[in-house]
Structure 1
């Protein structure tokens, strides 16, 4: 209903954010170097700071677009926006510090950068909150109203009306319903807007009532009426939107796709289906996994020696797992159990007092250090740093029959950590709950969401009571 305005608002938000960042730069420069309130040494020319402020602004806008921050989220509270603003600005500053290190700009004041960061968070949060409240009050007073006529007074139309009524800040007002089989609402719905006529009277009603948009909420057996309804609406200059009668079968974010020149309803909107998002995530995976391998190299060597000294057999344990698009791959871990015989089945869960575990292996599993070799899986493209945890083919075949939507997790690369794992759902925990978290991650992926999960994993620690 608001696609055109959403695009304009996204561009307006991006422009306003960038201008706000530059205004904050001037304020921070004056406060640090000109006000006399904060001690300082001779600063670099203001032009140098202005250049890096431009870089910071560009990075912040880039992150905002890729984290879908400019996509309207009507059901989200301002606290969500505030948290996202803090994330974007902190990550932007970290990237800026990386640029300063690469270009050897060591004379940029670090205290100024901290002041700049805090001022940006406060300024952007203040203007966003003010704008949000102002728009809400503006629409509640009746300004910029959009008048809606609902075709169909059945369960579908009533459900849409009830949902729309919960969001008066959006500025939509229902003028009434049209229905061929009811003249008034059944008991219990008397407070709904009235049924003002039949669908066959649509053309006359559009001439007599001020209507901006018509919502078709008819059952599937009324499909033959759509063509005439749309023609009447277009003749009157009124926008038409259709609520499919089968929308209950669709996930939370279906969207229209195009294939061979034909419009298709894609029943699951996955942000990582877009090339730019896949490219960004893969680039981050390569950089992060390389950095992790280099930083933990001495630890990897020590663990390898420890595995070799405490139990005979190979250092690395390889196990078949199901990954992206249901393709199998060999996942690497430090061996934490005694070598199994060829005839031993690999279809059992690890238990708390599993006799197969070595003492050193128990320590590795509790601290998740046994999973460090999976950064090589990430580097080779089998896995991602963040994503649903991969499972063995035997259990995949079992779970796909028992747990609804289990196979959805294979639409993206599996990860070393994930939204479910960072919330404590690993080891001996509910598979159903894990899938709910995995699907939420898949449908709501953003670059900042990945950063949040990595940070949450680090903050919560790697030791887990459910990891056996």
Structure 2
């Protein structure tokens, strides 16, 4: 049933959002480095890699510059128009194509690069690959402001590997074990809600049974 809803909702979204997506494509072609899409290998269902699509928001060689796969606040690798796309999450919309292809679902664990996936606890890795990764989900909502979490730290890689990813793995593991159609529809609605109201705590009031965040993330999620 979830796959059926994925296809229906993703197809409708592409049609409805076409008046927004077409201008974005034109602007990207005429600004920055002229790139429209960013394609990156991510880990999908069964551990198989697939090419995740996003609108290009950063310099092409960004993974080999600065903080690598970790993006921090005011990251100099992010292009001017890219900042707007990232803030509004419009840069994620090309993944609707990944959903239609069957690589992803609307809701599920967020797909990771190999390096980031291996930062998950082993138990989480084993369970996460049992389902399709999602455009949004529990981990995506909790870490919607992840770039701001690196403010004040001198070692973003340590924070990412030792604090953020282990906790994110716990959240994704919870979803794999407890996910159902009710959570599917609820998380779709909550995704739209937190995009419109980023500071809202409604998510935490509805999902009180989630694993508690570590002390180092207190007040940040």
TM-score interval for Structure 1 and Structure 2 normalised by the shorter chain: 0.7 to 0.9
Q: How far is 1:464 from its partner?
A: 5.2
Shift, 1:422, TM fit: 2.6
| Counterpart-to-counterpart distance in 2, 1:444 and 1:344 | 37
Offset of 1:339 from its aligned partner?
2.6
In the TM superposition, what are the counterparts of 1:114-153 in structure 2 within 5 Å? Answer: none
Q: Against the structure 1 CA distance between its residues 347 and 423, is the aligned structure 2 distance closer, same or farther, given a 3 Å change threshold?
A: closer
Paired residues in the alignment total: 182
What's the offset of the Cα at 1:312?
2.5
Could you tell me which of 432, 451, 454 is aligned with 2:185? 451
Find out whether 1:412 has 2:131 as its counterpart. Answer: yes
Deviations 1:83-112 (A, max 9, x none): xxxxxxxxxxxxxxxxxxxxxxxxxxxxxx
Distance in 2 (alpha carbons) for counterparts of 1:350 and 1:412: 26
5 Å-filtered alignment, 1:204-243, equals: none
Work out the CA distance in 2 between the residues paired with 1:424 and 1:354: 17
Contact 1:313–1:339 at 8 Å: present in 2 too? no
Residue 90 of structure 2 is aligned to residue 369 of structure 1: yes
Please give the residue correspondences for 1:93-172 in structure 2 after superposition, counting only pairs within 5 Å: none
- From 333, 338, 353, the equivalent of 2:59 is 338
- Which residue number corresponds to residue 71 of structure 2? 350
Give the alignment partner of residue 321 of structure 1, picking from 27, 30, 42.
42
Other-structure match for 1:442: 176
Query: Structure 1 residue 446: deviation in Å?
Result: 1.2
Are residues 298 and 376 of structure 1, via their aligned partners in 2, closer, same or farther at CA, if it must alter by over 3 Å?
Answer: same
Sort the Cα spacing of 1:421 and 1:396 in 2 relative to 1 into closer, same or farther, 3 A: closer
Query: 1:391: how far off?
Result: 0.7
Q: Note if contact 2:108-2:138 (Cα within 8 Å) is conserved in structure 1.
A: yes
1:405 counterpart SS class = helix
The 3-state SS of whatever aligns with 2:42 is strand
Aligned partners of 1:426 and 1:330: how far apart in 2? 24
CA contact (8 A) 2:124 2:172 kept: no
1:238 corresponds to? none
TM-score (norm 2): 0.75
Deviation at 1:427, TM superposition (A): 2.4
What is the CA deviation profile of residues 203-234 of structure 1, one whole-angstrom value per residue up to 9, with x for unaligned ones? xxxxxxxxxxxxxxxxxxxxxxxxxxxxxxxx
Query: Counterpart of 1:313 in 2: which secondary structure?
Result: coil
Q: Of the candidates 100, 119, 131, which is equivalent to residue 379 of structure 1?
A: 100
**Cα deviation, residue 424, structure 1:** 4.4
- 3-state SS of paired residue (2:74): coil
TM-score by length of 1: 0.37
2:140 to 421, 431, 438: 421
**Residue 285 of structure 1 aligns with which residue?**
6
Q: Is the 8 A contact 1:320 1:329 kept in 2?
A: yes
Greater RCO (Cα-Cα under 8 Å, separation 6 or more): 2
The structure with more radius of gyration: 1
Structure 1 residues 431-467: Cα deviation after superposition (integer angstroms, max 9, x where no partner): 22222221121111211110000111112225758xx
Asked if residue 299 in structure 1 is aligned to residue 20 in structure 2, the reply is yes
Aligned runs of 1:3-152 on 2, under 5 Å?
none
Displacement of 1:425 in angstroms is 5.3
Q: Distance in 2 between matches of 1:356 and 1:416?
A: 23
Contact 2:139 2:168 survives alignment (8 Å): yes
Contact 2:44–2:129 (CA<8 Å) still a contact in 1?
A: yes
Aligned-partner Cα distance in 1 for 2:15–2:196: 19
Q: CA deviation at 1:404?
A: 4.4
